[in-house]
Amino acid sequence: MNDPNRQYPTTKYAWYMVGILTVAYILSFADLYVLGLLIEPIKDDLGLSDSQIGLLLGPTFAIIYATMGLLFGYLADKKRRTWIVAAGVFIWSVATVTSGLAKSFVHLFIARIGVGVGAAALSPCAMSMISDSFPREKRGRPIAFYSAAFSLGVGIASLVSAGVLAWAKAVPEVSLPLVGAVAPWQFTFFVVGLPGIFVAAIMFRVREPKRQRTPGLEIKPRFDVMLKHVFSRWKVYGSFVAFICLMTICAYSQGWNAPMFQRTWGWEAQQYAFVNAIVLLAIGPATANLAGWMNDKWFAAGRHDAPLKIMIIGALIFVPTGIIAPLMPSPWIAMGIYAINTVGIATTMATGVTGLMNITPAEIRGQTVAFYYMVISFAGLFLGPTTVGWMSDNVFGNEQLNYAVAIVPAIYGIPILLLSGFALRAYRGELARQTAD
């Protein structure tokens, strides 16, 4: 349990810190997802294939994000985390702006590498800082609040993209100082990327929370120690993380939704982006915060496996709805089902890190979170967008993109859902072992 002698920051300042971190996380998702909303105009201007777009949406970002995350996780357990976050936000924001200057696949590829490097610094530090600012029984709500940034970031990216694409019909070319004439999709990258530079300046001045230590446990914050801890408990960590991997696979595969709605039902990209933004902003944050509240309530009642139970409930929602939505006869019915799908994704995402922190020693949380994000990013970004792109090019045909999107939650979701009982038993066993120790 928690050591009563630990010194946490005041609740007010802790939540202020969570707020700044959440704004940064919102911008990271906006910078990541804006590419998916601009697929068609980018393809037209740069002459790219669906497979190349799949690479940009997935592996290009994942390789850098995941591998650099391990370095930042190591630093998060040793160095000043607020400065690491500030530097990361600045790097990915500049890289997003640079994406708007791309003239070829190679240029865009390099810019996406920069986005991955910067974004990798955030979550290992953020989760470590949040865990050091709240006791375990009160950790669910701030982590869920931070996790709600997924829906907010994608929603904001959708709104910005919708507005710019609609405006582009009247103004096909934008002229900017120093840059000159740019296409609307290029201008969108500028709009989404620039705010992060100001957030980086604010983050630089946030106070570093005091590092907590696990009572009665001597463990060194080294990468090899973290790996030994995780792999010696591979059943609990593996089955637990499988559900988050499933969520990222399904969520990142939806980066193809804008062209899917256009090719299947004739919606223009700006119409999809606007409606999708309303759905995400109305449902995602509220669901994530409700899941966090439910986690703390169940945990206080003695149901310490609450995070994993809530994750599984979310998966039982987003897997079937992800299969059904792309096969609907109209875009409005599909979007209605995607609204339910958003409930499932936000529910699973909200409690994933909470559950991870509850079974991880404080001394190696930064590295464990980085390793966690490496695994789920590789799974989500490699398997999600690339599976859709490959299926579209090689199996169903580009005009039947909806079938390629629908098959992803089916082929990955059903096997993992069958692990639910095993995952719960392993998680409860690890909690019981910690209590006994």
**Residue 105 token pair:** 């696949």
Whether domain 11-211+220-436 has CATH 3.40.50.150: no
Question: Is residue 29 predicted with pLDDT exceeding 70?
Answer: yes
CA distance 318 to 412: 12
Residue with tokens 């957030």: 199
> Taking CA 226 as the corner, what is the angle to CA 383 and CA 311, rounded to the nearest 5 degrees?
45
Q: At what angle do helices 149-168 and 140-147 cross, to 10 degrees?
A: 20
Q: Is 29 helix (H, G, I), strand (E, B) or coil?
A: helix
Give pLDDT, residue 4: 46
User: Residue 175: phi, psi to the nearest 5?
Assistant: -110, 125
Where does residue 227 rank: exposed (0-12), middle (13-18), buried (19+ CB within 10 A)? middle
Give pLDDT, residue 171: 66
CA distance 88 to 82: 10
CA distance 54 to 389: 5
Q: Is 66 helix (H, G, I), strand (E, B) or coil?
A: helix
Length reported for the chain: 437
CA distance 154 to 147: 12
Looking at per-residue pLDDT, the higher value among 257 and 366 belongs to 257
Task: Give per-residue pLDDT as tens, 350-401.
Answer: 888 888 888 887 777 777 877 888 888 888 878 888 888 888 888 887 788 9
Q: How confident is the model at residue 217 (pLDDT cuts 50, 70, 90)?
A: low
CA distance 355 to 106: 39
> Taking CA 157 as the corner, what is the angle to CA 15 and CA 90, rounded to the nearest 5 degrees?
60
CA distance 217 to 211: 15
Give pLDDT, residue 120: 83
Give pLDDT, residue 172: 63
Tell whether the torsion through CA atoms of 235, 240, 246 and 252 is positive or negative: negative
Average pLDDT over residues 247-257: 89
> Which region among 85-89, 123-127, 168-172 has the lowest average model confidence (pLDDT)?
168-172
**Residue 302 token pair:** 């003695």
Say how many C-beta atoms besides its own lie within 10 A of residue 390's C-beta: 14
Strand partners, 176: 180
Task: Give per-residue pLDDT as tens, 159-197.
Answer: 776 776 676 666 666 766 777 777 777 888 888 888 899
C-beta of residue 133 within 8 angstroms of C-beta of residue 142: yes
Give pLDDT, residue 210: 81
H helices present in 257-383, as ranges: 257-265, 269-300, 306-324, 331-357, 365-377
Q: How far is CA 242 from CA 115, 249, 283, 352, 422, in A?
A: 25, 10, 24, 11, 12
Say how many C-beta atoms besides its own lie within 10 A of residue 402's C-beta: 22
Q: How far is CA 134 from CA 3, 140, 146, 212, in A?
A: 12, 9, 13, 10
Task: Give per-residue pLDDT as tens, 357-371.
Answer: 888 877 777 778 778
Q: Is 268 helix (H, G, I), strand (E, B) or coil?
A: coil
Question: Is residue 144 predicted with pLDDT exceeding 60?
Answer: yes
Q: How confident is the model at residue 58 (pLDDT cuts 50, 70, 90)?
A: low
C-beta of residue 145 within 8 angstroms of C-beta of residue 127: no
Q: Is 121 helix (H, G, I), strand (E, B) or coil?
A: coil
What residue spans define the domains of the chain? 11-211+220-436
> Taking CA 115 as the corner, what is the angle to CA 210 and CA 118, rounded to the nearest 5 degrees?
20
Q: How confident is the model at residue 437 (pLDDT cuts 50, 70, 90)?
A: low
Average pLDDT over residues 317-329: 95
Q: Is 338 helix (H, G, I), strand (E, B) or coil?
A: helix
- CB-facing half-sphere around the CA of 325: CA atoms within 13 A: 24
**Residue 405 token pair:** 């999107």
**CA 30 to centroid of chain Cα atoms:** 10
